[in-house]
Amino acid sequence: MLQFSSSSQLLKEKAAFSCKACQLTFASVFHLSSHVQSQLHKVNISQMKKRRVAISNPIWCELCRSSCSSLGEVEAHPNGSRHNSLLSSLARELNAVLVHVVWAILPV
């Protein structure tokens, strides 16, 4: 059962979204969207602009290793074919690992 929790956690980490401006990671688009609209995020973006730090694409998808420049892109991104394909591949890989772990620990 411990392996399932670890694999589930790995899947969540790989499918996470990050706000590079605030250096925070979120497991869902809902939580990321809430963050992007928060005062903390707006203050960080404002400070970066004042310091002339480049922030053209502050949101990052860990799974696809790609960035999104707007909240609209972030909300649409998980429905994209590339993201879904990578997510399915990762889930299949983790499932295969789980099967091997279960067979390895089951008594014969």
At residue 3, the pLDDT reads 44
Q: Given the structure tokens 């310091």, which residue do they identify? A: 51
At residue 61, the pLDDT reads 86
| pLDDT, average across residues 25-46 | 88
> Which amino acid is located at 24 in the chain?
L
At residue 99, the pLDDT reads 67
Stated as kind and residue range, the H or E segment containing 25 is strand 24-26
Confidence grade of residue 2 (pLDDT, cut at 50, 70, 90):
very low
Domain regions of the chain by residue span: 2-105
The pTM of the full predicted model, rounded to 2 decimals, is 0.57
**Of 8 and 30, more confident:** 30
